[in-house]
Amino acid sequence: MTNSDRAPSTFGSPLLRDGRLLVYLFVSFRLILLLVHQPLPPYTPGLTGFGDFAYFHGLASLADQGKLPYRDYWFEYPPVVALVSQGVYSVISLRGGDFTAYAVMLGLVLTAFDVGNLLLIRRIGMRLHGPGTGIALAWIYAMLPAPLIISFWSFDTIVAFFTLLAIASLIDAQRDRSAIADALGGLTKLMPLILLGAVWRFRPAREALRYSVIAIGITAAGLLAMLAFAGPYGLPSLRVQFSKSSAETVWALMDGNYTTGILSPNHFDPASASQPQGNPPLIPALVRTAIFAVIGLFVYATTRRRDNRGLLAFISVSFALLYLWSANWSPQWQVVLIPLVLLNFPSRQGVLFIITLAFVSFIEYPVMFAHTTGAIPPAQVPLFAALILARTLLLIGFAWALYRRLRVPGLEDVNSPS
């Protein structure tokens, strides 16, 4: 991917430069779709079809029996997800707690976070590539279907928001704000904490230490507060994501797991949280982790670029390596990856990469899984494997393109005093 097709520095039409108009169209498009395609069981799942809203609603509705996550059953995500889901349910319970009200309100909450993603892409793009490119990237993001779909599927829109907020604040030298945003991302899903590697590589040791203390300290405090509230389900809730069987990755193909990353349905048995639902790994997790640790250290040691574009590239290659390391893949992870691709490669090639990734991911899930009983039948395994390999090659290509950028100094590095 190259920057040869980068947008011009200015936009001719004042309509395209109008940030408020962008937000109006972005929000109204989602709200009108929601009005027309409301989730109305048993007739239609609406925009939430094939997503996790029904699953989270089922867990949140246990509050009607006096049961809360962590305290009365294990819950597989850190506290922010539980707080948002349970908070939405507590509001709509005044209306009887039906799924339609829950899904609509949760969709509105996640749409608000996605507006934040839109504005952060615009802000970071303008900072790194100039006003014209930043504006163009925001309009491109607004037209992509994957972020819209995923905002009615899962909580990863929140993960993307805190990740982008942490990156934007770090670029603007607002390091404490960035560390707080990174911690909130870690309390949604742990993945955003991978930014710490970039902070240590691109910032002086004293600043990196302060950043790490804030980010890790807030994350640890949030998890400890959860454990203090929890009973016997607290530790299982922390361990469950690390106990899942492989799914939808090359590692899963090696293991013979041709399903999605399912968990035990028995949330009231603490032991079930650590019971894999598929075949054991052919390659032990420690070996896989050691391989990628070596790759990560090599990237860290050989990085030469030290400007803000280099910072973004380092963060992005870290996410790419994390996704390649993971034994599991979820199509909603695209919502974090898409802004990183756009901001690193504001070009036709970058957009085509995103479109290709979306087709590969959504054909795999939900298209293929929609016609199964939970596992890919033997006759369809070759196509399933081809899609997984295609996505893996896309991620490898993205990581390699980023690494090539990190190997050479940036313009800001050349002009900076030694």
Residue 273: band (very low, low, confident or very high) from pLDDT cuts 50, 70, 90: confident
Q: Which residues contact 195 (CB under 8 A, 6 or more apart)?
A: 163, 166, 167, 170, 178, 182, 215, 315, 318
* 277/253 Cα distance (integer angstroms): 15
Give percent above pLDDT 70 in the chain: 94
**Which has the higher per-residue pLDDT, 194 or 37?**
194
pTM higher than the cut 0.85: yes
* Cα dihedral across residues 125, 130, 136, 138: positive or negative: positive
Mark out the alpha helices in 269-380 (DSSP H runs): 285-302, 308-325, 334-344, 348-362, 369-370
Residue 101: band (very low, low, confident or very high) from pLDDT cuts 50, 70, 90: very high
Among 14-18, 35-39, 74-78, the range scoring the smallest mean pLDDT is 14-18
Cα-to-chain-centroid distance, residue 337: 7
Give percent above pLDDT 90 in the chain: 77
Is 274's pLDDT higher than 90?
A: no
Residue 91: band (very low, low, confident or very high) from pLDDT cuts 50, 70, 90: very high
What integer pLDDT is reported at residue 6 of this predicted model? 45
The token duo for 398 is: 């993205």
Query: What pLDDT, in 10s, does the model give residues 308-355?
Result: 999 999 999 999 999 999 999 999 999 999 999 999 999 999 999 999
What integer pLDDT is reported at residue 49 of this predicted model? 87
Domain ranges of the chain: 18-256+266-413
Mean pLDDT (the chain) is 91
Is 18's pLDDT higher than 70?
A: yes
What integer pLDDT is reported at residue 43 of this predicted model? 62
* 362/91 Cα distance (integer angstroms): 32
Inter-residue contact 161 to 355 (CB < 8 Å): no
Residue 414: band (very low, low, confident or very high) from pLDDT cuts 50, 70, 90: very low
The amino acid at residue 372 is T
* 362/388 Cα distance (integer angstroms): 11
Among 9-23, 168-182, 198-212, the range scoring the smallest mean pLDDT is 9-23
- As a whole number, mean pLDDT of residues 269-295 equals 90
What integer pLDDT is reported at residue 12 of this predicted model? 59
What integer pLDDT is reported at residue 129 of this predicted model? 95
* 80/162 Cα distance (integer angstroms): 11
Is 2's pLDDT higher than 50?
A: no
Among 265-269, 339-343, 395-399, the range scoring the smallest mean pLDDT is 265-269
Place of tokens 């590239």: 313
What integer pLDDT is reported at residue 412 of this predicted model? 59
Closest CA to 40 of 59, 53, 30: 53
Phi, psi (deg, nearest 5) at residue 246: -65, 150
Is 277's pLDDT higher than 60?
A: yes
